[in-house]
Structure 1
């Protein structure tokens, strides 16, 4: 895919380039551009929530909701902003974001840097969505003494504004956060958050580093708590063979090298759930073919982030064009028919 601005952006520090891109998308949202044409074959749904297409922006790209309208303008059916924490926090020390160009990957140790719930939700409240769905991803502050209370505060504040809310307990960059993915801690968290969401769909984002026993536990807890969907997954702390000089940086790895692991864990969650809960796939998705493979493996939605760094703003329309062609080739009239087919 041709991406003329990539050499210019790649000449900059990764975090600075990211900030400039978001700023440009925020400006673009104020300019007229043609609305994306609705294609019935790309329609999908999770429970009562319908989506014009199954392609979403993963949380982490637009933490503070400064580019919501611009991202929808690129063609995405869903944009998930955040992670938002109750109190603003600066995150980990810089540098903390690294491009692995030779691997088409990214390593980050951002640490939930964001301007806080109040500021983020104020932007979300006024952002035009068109036919898109806005998700709000919430987390706990690093120094919180009661992390469950932080999540409840996030869910209760975001639920009246969001089309869906995501509980993020899978970031590797907040010490101890992933402990909430297991046992009694997970049960307590989900019980508290489901009581705070009202009628808003609630999603749970988990890590691709979970083993089979942990996946079984997450699926059981999510189904029992009536969570609407599981997002599999987040970045990984594992390290497949990498060629880039930055491969030794600590943090979560995303992008192309994550695809095989994310694909396998999606299949594991589907096997553990037997289709009893909706699934959303993230991790290494960079083409219509990969998006289609995740849908056929059980995902109702797919999310991208790192691929945008390397492919640019035209990625969404390319993926949707190819996905439409693949669905038509196999005789599906909408995405829902292809899920786990």
Structure 2
């Protein structure tokens, strides 16, 4: 069945990228997603930031913006699924076209602009969750007068519904959002979130992560790590899409927006190494950006990530990719003498 699903994914690539994604969501809602047989390989199980994950390969935010298909994606073999980015109020996002498939580069450029149905629709669907680790990636509305307040609103509304929260301050498609990565702005944001969290019922407390851009200088990385540690956040996700442009071959390479996919692998992994060095064991890391194979996932882990996330590679390789990545990653771990994923973290 994996082959059937991958062939279907190939057919979708003949359509407009955003239309293809919409059809994929509807197909998953109709129960047409892959369902691997048998239990997962125990070598890939890991405890990350207090979460017990059946495997270390997660679905990054952006695929399931409105918490519509987290169940089918967990069933497809992901160890955890991150939904969103969700903003307090529904918003249409930027004008179309805003999603570009760079086939020659196995890359994607998007300038979606946090298009989503808003917190109420998101919360209603997340409330139906029946197991599995499902995170909520929260953001700010484009026209908000208090962007920090938007994050607080998201935290409060989804309290008790999500397995973890990711604070997304690194999308390049909401003007000014990345400025929240500066030290003073980040201290204010995390301080207000901590204050709000402490006032909420303790039984709803779950890990909180920060998602950062790959386009950071070493001094910025060090400052972010110090603020994250002081605020007692649980982990950092490295990284979101890049505004830089490595050499690309596709005709749409000059489109504005965030670049993801294979060309992001090297940059995001270099930034991951910087974060691992600056974090100095104070909190764990998730590696995202360019993961499209078991070798890529292994490289992220060896560079300091405890878990990895992917999304863009599914566009080119189909939903069977997650199973292939897990099989290859497990083989690589055993070949190098590791008995668990955790043993391989930051060993290169």
**TM-score, structure 1 normalization:** 0.96
Report the equivalent of 1:5: 8
Report the equivalent of 2:19: 16
Report the equivalent of 2:88: 86
Report the equivalent of 1:332: 338
Secondary structure of the residue that 2:196 maps to in structure 1?
coil
Post-superposition offset of 1:34: 5.7
Looking at structure 1, the residues matched to 149 and 306 of structure 2 have their Cα atoms a distance apart, in angstroms, of 30
Secondary structure of the residue that 1:167 maps to in structure 2?
strand
Looking at structure 1, the residues matched to 280 and 34 of structure 2 have their Cα atoms a distance apart, in angstroms, of 45
Post-superposition offset of 1:35: 5.6
1:139 aligns with 2:145: no
**In structure 2, which of residues 101, 125, 131 is the aligned counterpart of residue 123 of structure 1?**
125
Mark the CA change 1:254 to 1:15 in structure 2 (over 3 Å): closer, same or farther.
same
Count of aligned pairs: 338
Post-superposition offset of 1:25: 1.2
Report the equivalent of 1:110: 112
Secondary structure of the residue that 2:256 maps to in structure 1?
coil
Post-superposition offset of 1:339: 1.1
More divergent stretch after superposition (220-229 vs 118-127)? 118-127
Report the equivalent of 1:289: 295
Within 5 Å, give how 1:1-341 maps onto structure 2: 3-28=6-31, 33=35, 36-129=38-131, 132-197=132-197, 198=202, 199-341=205-347
Post-superposition offset of 1:333: 1.7
Deviations, residues 246-296 of structure 1 (Å, cap 9, x unaligned): 001000000000001001000010111112211000000001111011111
> Would the aligned equivalents of 1:38 and 1:52 in 2 still touch at CA under 8 Å?
yes
Mark the CA change 1:35 to 1:5 in structure 2 (over 3 Å): closer, same or farther.
closer
Looking at structure 2, the residues matched to 33 and 76 of structure 1 have their Cα atoms a distance apart, in angstroms, of 11
Deviations, residues 86-111 of structure 1 (Å, cap 9, x unaligned): 00000000000000000000000000
Post-superposition offset of 1:36: 4.8
> Would the aligned equivalents of 2:28 and 2:72 in 1 still touch at CA under 8 Å?
yes
Q: What 5-or-longer segments of structure 1 have no aligned partner? A: none
User: Where does structure 1 differ by over 4 angstroms across 4 or more consecutive aligned residues?
Assistant: 31-36
